[in-house]
Amino acid sequence: MSGSILIIDDSVTLLQKIKSHLLLDQYEVVTATTYPEARPHLGRVDLVIIDFHMPGQDGADMVVAFRKALGNAQNPPLLYLHTTDSNQAANYKSLKFDGVIGMKGNYEMLSKQVGAAMRLRRLSVKMRIAP
């Protein structure tokens, strides 16, 4: 496997499309539609991709809750914003995300952006364990 990914979105249809596409890229993929459904997977994935606009939930609030839940984890997953909103994408750092996957719905770009995020993840893990 190339790595493990948790995708959070309120659209089950979109989750299935993204999952199917990322499975072709040899990733292990878990999906969730809510924070409580996603939380148990946090410590077992490399990358979390979070939709910003979900009914009753705000992606930025979810990131804060995830960071609190992860505490001082040695190798926490990267938390990425998934959006088509260019204003939110430009402000991902102030929203406490590690990065952004834009162009939602463009699966070719999704593959490239996830690949870049996973390379960054592997590099950050390597740097944490280097003497």
- Between the two ends of the chain, the Cα-to-Cα distance in Å is 27
Helix, strand, coil proportions of the chain in percent (round to 5)?
50, 20, 30
Q: Domain spans of the chain?
A: 4-129
Predicted pLDDT at 88 = 80
Q: What tokens does 52 get?
A: 């910003």
Separation of alpha carbons 96 and 40, rounded Å: 21
Q: Residues 41, 11: contact at Cβ < 8 Å?
A: no
pTM for this entry? 0.90
Q: Which CATH architecture has domain 4-129?
A: 3-Layer(aba) Sandwich (3.40)
Q: What is the pLDDT of residues 35-93, one digit of tens each?
A: 899 999 998 999 999 998 888 877 888 888 898 988 888 889 999 999 888 888 888 88
